[in-house]
Amino acid sequence: MALTNEQIDRYSRQIILPNVGGKGQDKILKSKVLVIGTGGLGAPCSFYLAAAGVGKIGLVDSDKVELNNLQRQIVHTTLDVGIPKVESGKKRLNALNPDTEVVTYNLRLDSGNILDVIKDYDIVVDGSDNFPTRYLVNDACVIAKKPLVHAGIFRYDGQIMTILPGKGPCYRCLFPEPPPAGAVPSCQEGGILGAVAGVLGVLQANEALKFILQSGELLSGRLLIFNASDASFRTVKVPKDKDCPVCSEHPTVTKLIDYQEFCSLKQNKDCSIK
Amino acid sequence: MMAKVKVRIPAPLQKITQNKQEVIAEAKNIKELILDLEKQFPGMKDRLLDESGKIRRFINFYVNDEDIRFLKQDETQLVEGSEVSIIPAIAGGLK
Ligand SMILES: [Zn+2]
């Protein structure tokens, strides 16, 4: 497909890059990325993906915009408080770039719907805020062989890794099982600096774009760790685990698990009193 | 032989280390390192090990950039200057 004059102008600063060019821009315009969560990670990630001209972005979130989200979830504005996050996100991405088709999924992912939601996309970005969804997304992507960009944030720390099912390790190769409710950082003493979420969300967009452009080295087989207090980035090796519960040759997880029932049952008891 | 090593403490455990991100421990392997951390920072062991004394499945130990699960688990040797990182699974931000 030929780029219009307006597109050539809009994307000129990336078209001139050695690994992009008109061909690369065409790949971006034809790409489809699913962004799970329109929060601290999903907001900056989807913003940059739309800016770059990703052809179709799916936004998945079941929450409504709250005032306390705005400190970091930059696709939402003060006027959006109270409306579904995916609607607010769609509005902003459409305003930024009419080339991008935005599809909204105002739902919570579970074992019954996830395979259907991810199937139309080239790559999945996980910006969810809880372990049940993270393990569900990992397992579904392994089963459906969808590339996945995982990231997590907590206080001043961030982690990111790209999962290429069939080729590299998955999230369970790194952490075989989710923490039990109550032991998890996400529901204890929380807190996050908006800029930390921004750094990780933009790194996720960067991974998705490299995947689309088939250029550079993806974070496959290594976990990148960002520490905001000392402004350091480190990587550690993530080997494929031959005993991985989901991606090994003898998996113990053979169907999708809805961990949230267990977690929400225990949540009040274990977490809120901390 | 005992080795003096630097240990990176992840955010969720920094309450126990009085907000220190990095501490020094002396040990010849990871098992001893956990005991030394417990001595210096009581409460640490319970956060790192389960009831049976195994490292929890959502916490990894790295010596330099290698995951000890793929080395010799908690028998993985430490040498002077090794850098140990404790890295737990973290979820998202807040709702
Ligand atoms: Zn795996």
Domain ranges of chain A: 14-270
Kindly give the distance from the C-alpha atom of residue A228 to the centroid of ligand 1, in angstroms, as a whole number: 28
Q: What is the pLDDT of residues A4-22, one digit of tens each?
A: 999 999 999 999 999 999 9
Q: Mutation test of the interface with chain A: which of B9, B50, B54, B95, choosing the one with the most A Cβ atoms within 10 A?
A: B95
CA–CA separation, B25 and B14 (whole Å)? 15
Total count of domains within chain B:
1
CATH architecture of A14-270: 3-Layer(aba) Sandwich (3.40)
Residues A202-222 pLDDT 10s: 999 999 999 999 999 999 999
The residues near A188 (Cβ < 8 Å, ≥ 6 apart) are A182, A271, A274, B12
Q: Let me know if residue B28 belongs to a domain.
A: yes
Classify residue A213 as left (phi > 0), alpha (psi -120 to 50) or beta. Answer: alpha
**Contact between A218 and A211 (Cβ < 8 Å):** yes
Q: What confidence tens digit (pLDDT) does each residue in A97-149 have? A: 999 999 999 999 999 999 999 999 999 999 998 899 999 999 999 999 999 99
Would the pLDDT of A44 be above 60? Answer: yes
Tell me: the pLDDT tens digits for B35-93?
A: 999 999 999 999 999 999 999 999 999 999 999 999 999 999 999 999 999 999 998 64
Q: What is the pTM of this model?
A: 0.94
CA A126 to chain centre: 3
* Confidence bin at A186 (pLDDT 50/70/90): very low
Q: Which chain residues have CB less than 5 Å from ligand 1, an ion? A: A 170, 172-173, 244, 247
Domain assignment present for residue B94? The answer is no
Report, as an integer, the average pLDDT of A188-211.
91
Distances (CA, A) of A116 to A42, A112, B50: 20, 8, 37
The total of other beta-carbon atoms located within 10 Å of residue A249's CB is 7
Q: Residue B84 belongs to what domain range?
A: 3-88
B95 found inside a domain:
no
CATH number where B61 lies: 3.10.20.30
Say what angle helices A42-52 and A85-96 make with each other, to 10 degrees: 30
Q: Which of A70, A5, A2, A66 is nearest to A30 (CA)?
A: A2
% chain B with pLDDT above 70: 96
| 3-class secondary structure, A137 | helix
Question: Does some domain include residue B75?
Answer: yes
